[in-house]
Amino acid sequence: MTTLHNLGFPRIGHQRELKFALERYWRGEDSLEELESTAAGLRARHWELQQNAGLDLLPVNDFSLYDQVLDNSLLLGAIPRRFGDLGKHSHADAAFCIARGRDAEGNPVAAGEMTKWFDTNYHYIVPELRPGQRFRISSEKLFHEVSEARALGHEAVKPVLPGPLTWLWLAKAEEEEFDRLELLDSLVETYGGILQRLAALGVAWVQLDEPALALDLPGEWKQAYESAYSRLRAAPVKLLLATYFGPLQDNLHLAARLPVDGLHLDAVRAPGELPRLADHMPAYKILSAGIIDGRNIWRADLKKILATLAPLRQRLGDRLWLAPSCSLLHVPVDLASETGLDEELKSWLAFAVQKLDELALLKQCLRTGAEGCGELLAENIRAIESRRLSSRIHDPKVQQRLQTLSPDMAQRGSPYAQRRPSQISLPLFPTTTIGSFPQTAEIRRARRDYRLGRLDEAGYQRRMRDEIRAVVEIQETLGLDVLVHGEAERNDMVEYFGEQLQGFAFTRFGWVQSYGSRCVKPPILFGDVSRPAPMTVEWSRYAQSLTDKPMKGMLTGPVTLLNWSFLRDDQPRALTCRQLALALRDEVLDLERTGISVIQIDEAALREGLPLRKADWRNYLNWAVESFRITAGGVRDSTQIHTHMCYSEFNDIMAAIAAMDADVITIETSRSRMELLDAFRDFHYPAEIGPGVYDIHSANIPRTQDMLELLEKALERIPAERLWVNPDCGLKTRNWEEVKPALKNMVEAARRLRKQYAGKERMPD
Ligand code: GLN
Ligand code: ZN
């Protein structure tokens, strides 16, 4: 019989129980026992649910109170020195110290760095290592959870751990750089000890997650895989090596050859490699086909999957296992509790719980043949057909419009240097902000009341206009040069646009963990995208009517809308992105028509959409940049286009950033002390740059002097006439007590700098 298993289940809870329990604990309202008991309740519920769905092996240790990579660092005793002796704390408290920046005594220290888990929107805490470090088993969490599952009567459990090489690959040096592979011996030895202990608990299978095998790996790392796994083969348990998030490509033979008992492949991202692996796998090995999409929310096309599996099943027999493509951490928990979607849309979707049912149905169909699994399969086929043919998805008008796309639509009238003189004139070192101002409790209440019908349209308009008037006045008093309307009407920079565009749907409970207790609720981009009506024009027009200063229009760009949504899987991403670009282009043109002469198109998520493999970057960047250019390309030379990005790693994508052809780019740099601007200098970036001069993530009020120093560093790399002065990012998470003095100091820094440069005219080159 086919074995069904799961790589991991979302731990946050279908009502985000874990989030609320964590936050109560952190506020000091709950005891650790209360938190642990909520956590144990979730684990028990999730195991039972998976058991009832018919899984043959249940994942254990996929649960985490904060992050599974951090848990693994604690398991291995890899704790950066600045945290002191965390050994005296519970696993949970030690994890919170690292994640939230407290040492063992409770003093503030730099928190562990957080970064994106491969190409997902989940963030892990980066392990930090030092030369000569020795590992040893330093946490009981893993073993406790195995015993806990056992005590609940779950015999067939499969502990899940980040594999040694992936964990090491994701780590960084605590201080001075060194070759992390030097630590491999001690690391593998400790993993060996862990596997021993799991065996002693009666565990038969252990899943080691090695998604790093979907990356471009240097030769030494490939060798390290061989040597590490040949040492681990001595362990008295069976190892399932889990790869996911992409094809193995040049690592395929390596992965197939490693002396483990089973190999899991992401068959959604690498369908072609499934039969290839079946050819290459030695006869003793299990091949686990990750056949249900763990990264997206669409119902699986079971008929198609069955056709793929049939020959494999014939060849491999019971050596073929079935699973989701990756951990289900990346999808919402349960469609059944969803109330925000209509029945038709729901019939096209599957969240974590439904994905397990799909697996079970596949198993049944494999056993009985398609005829034997009757109504459930028939229902699946009907849903797939109805989605394929639905007029809610396919809009002939949108498709016709795409046909009219021509290269000149992605092209501004003239190059930057020629169009600059016709744009607004500004003092040297113009000051601006990135868009949002503090989202006060009153603003959020007004939005909520409006949504719930407690505040009527007119009342809401009045509240938002009052807000706009107030922030315009504040900005004029502060002396900022290019103003913003403050984005009070926006709950979220993606949701706000998605809600007004055709083709998007929003869930009420479709939460996915982003980091720690934080969750996001990505929109579902299910159909052809169009813009029924202007989305931001009225707010911007009103804001501009209040001031003689230029008012920046503010839009979220196509690539960011794309990268922060669950996307339709029935057409290439590039095409979906182009549809978004055309819809936003109309908004840009409407803004221009209404008298807005500066328009910012935020692309916060452009970089994070980069494919895992370098070879795929060019293609992605081509269509991503093209989409941005389609959005911006229709305006007159005299309209100044800004873009904003929340990062500063531009070295390897500088050409693409320049190709976006924005007149001004504002970026995050304050935390890197402007050094990352080297990329702009070395590339001779042609247009204007606003490197953030203060960190909006911190509550500290930046001092004029500090910002001046940063600006001087920036001036070593950017010509004065192309340098803007602005914070790192939007200010919506801050309060006015912080924002006002911060901006006052920032404007003062610009003024002082202008004095130093007095006499020099602002001169576009
Ligand atoms: N305009 C947005 C804001 O100011 C940009 C946010 C972002 O880039 N993350 O909030
Ligand atoms: Zn930002």
Average pLDDT, the chain: 96
Confirm if 553 and 536 have CB atoms less than 8 A apart. Answer: yes
Q: What values do phi and psi take at 651, rounded to 5?
A: -45, -50
Digit-coded pLDDT (tens) for 593-612: 999 999 999 999 999 999 99
pLDDT of residue 761: 52
Residue 109 has pLDDT above 90, yes or no: yes
Confirm if 301 and 384 have CB atoms less than 8 A apart. Answer: yes
549 C-beta neighbours (distance < 10 Å), count: 18
Give the pLDDT band (50/70/90) at residue 534: very high
Conformation bin of residue 669: beta by default, left when phi > 0, alpha when psi is -120 to 50: alpha
Digit-coded pLDDT (tens) for 688-742: 999 999 999 888 899 999 999 999 999 999 999 999 999 999 999 999 999 999 9
Question: Residue with the nearest Cα to atom 10 of ligand 1?
Answer: 730
Q: Is 374 helix (H, G, I), strand (E, B) or coil?
A: helix
Calculate how far, in angstroms, residue 412's C-alpha sits from the geometric centre of ligand 1.
24
Question: Residue with the nearest Cα to atom 3 of ligand 1?
Answer: 730
Ligand 1 binding pocket includes 433 (Cβ within 6 Å): no
Give the pLDDT band (50/70/90) at residue 760: low
Ligand 1 binding pocket includes 602 (Cβ within 6 Å): yes
Question: Residue with the nearest Cα to atom 1 of ligand 1?
Answer: 435
Residues 6+ apart with CB under 8 A from 493: 487, 556, 560, 602, 604
Calculate how far, in angstroms, residue 696's C-alpha sits from the geometric centre of ligand 2.
9
Confirm if 285 and 263 have CB atoms less than 8 A apart. Answer: yes
Give the pLDDT band (50/70/90) at residue 764: very low
Digit-coded pLDDT (tens) for 386-417: 999 999 999 999 999 999 999 999 999 999 99
Confirm if 524 and 475 have CB atoms less than 8 A apart. Answer: no
> Which residue of 489, 490, 602 sits with most ligand 1 atoms within 8 Å of its CB, as the best mutation to test the pocket?
602
Give CA separation, 91 vs 42, 142, 209, 450, in Å.
18, 10, 21, 44
pLDDT of residue 765: 43
pLDDT of residue 371: 74
Q: Alpha helices of 441-596 — where are they, by DSSP H?
A: 441-451, 457-478, 495-498, 537-545, 558-563, 573-593
Ligand 1 binding pocket includes 644 (Cβ within 6 Å): yes
Number of H helices, E strands in the chain: 27, 22
Residues 6+ apart with CB under 8 A from 150: 157, 201, 202
Ligand 1 binding pocket includes 732 (Cβ within 6 Å): yes
Digit-coded pLDDT (tens) for 155-193: 999 999 999 999 999 999 999 999 999 999 999 999 999
Question: Residue with the nearest Cα to atom 4 of ligand 1?
Answer: 730
Digit-coded pLDDT (tens) for 192-228: 999 999 999 999 999 999 999 999 999 999 999 999 9
Calculate how far, in angstroms, residue 729's C-alpha sits from the geometric centre of ligand 1.
6
> Which residue of 480, 492, 644 sits with most ligand 1 atoms within 8 Å of its CB, as the best mutation to test the pocket?
644
Tokens representing 41 are 């309740």
Calculate how far, in angstroms, residue 692's C-alpha sits from the geometric centre of ligand 2.
9
Ligand 1 binding pocket includes 604 (Cβ within 6 Å): yes
Ligand 1 binding pocket includes 435 (Cβ within 6 Å): yes
Mean pLDDT of 344-358: 98
Confirm if 412 and 635 have CB atoms less than 8 A apart. Answer: yes
Ligand 1 binding pocket includes 646 (Cβ within 6 Å): yes
Confirm if 166 and 191 have CB atoms less than 8 A apart. Answer: no
> Which residue of 432, 493, 600, 731 sits with most ligand 1 atoms within 8 Å of its CB, as the best mutation to test the pocket?
493
pLDDT of residue 31: 98
More confident residue, 671 or 284: 284
Residue 759 has pLDDT above 90, yes or no: no
Digit-coded pLDDT (tens) for 309-345: 999 999 999 999 999 999 999 999 999 989 989 999 9
SS (H, E, C) 348-417: CECCHHHHHHHHHHHHHHHHHCHHHHHHHHHHHHHHHHHHHHCCCCCCHHHHHHHHCCCHHHHCCCCCHH
Calculate how far, in angstroms, residue 141's C-alpha sits from the geometric centre of ligand 2.
37
HSE on the CB side for 144, CA within 13 Å?
14
Nearest CA to 365 out of 301, 312, 306, 307 is that of 306
Mean pLDDT of 3-27: 97
pLDDT of residue 543: 98
Any idea which residues carry the catalytic annotation? Answer: 697
The span from the CA of 244 to the CA of 464, in Å, is: 46
Ligand 1 binding pocket includes 722 (Cβ within 6 Å): no
Calculate how far, in angstroms, residue 730's C-alpha sits from the geometric centre of ligand 1.
5
Give the pLDDT band (50/70/90) at residue 92: very high
Residue 467 has pLDDT above 90, yes or no: yes
Calculate how far, in angstroms, residue 646's C-alpha sits from the geometric centre of ligand 2.
4
CA dihedral 123, 349, 292, 55 (to 10 degrees): 90
Ligand 1 nearest atom to the CA of residue 646, by list position: 8
Mean pLDDT of 534-545: 98
Question: Residue with the nearest Cα to atom 7 of ligand 1?
Answer: 604
Give the pLDDT band (50/70/90) at residue 649: confident
Confirm if 550 and 423 have CB atoms less than 8 A apart. Answer: no
195: exposed, middle or buried (Cβ count in 10 Å: 0-12, 13-18, 19+)? buried
The span from the CA of 524 to the CA of 72, in Å, is: 33
Our measurement of the distance from residue 675's CA atom to the centroid of its chain's CA atoms, rounded to an integer in Å, reads 25
Question: Residue with the nearest Cα to atom 9 of ligand 1?
Answer: 604
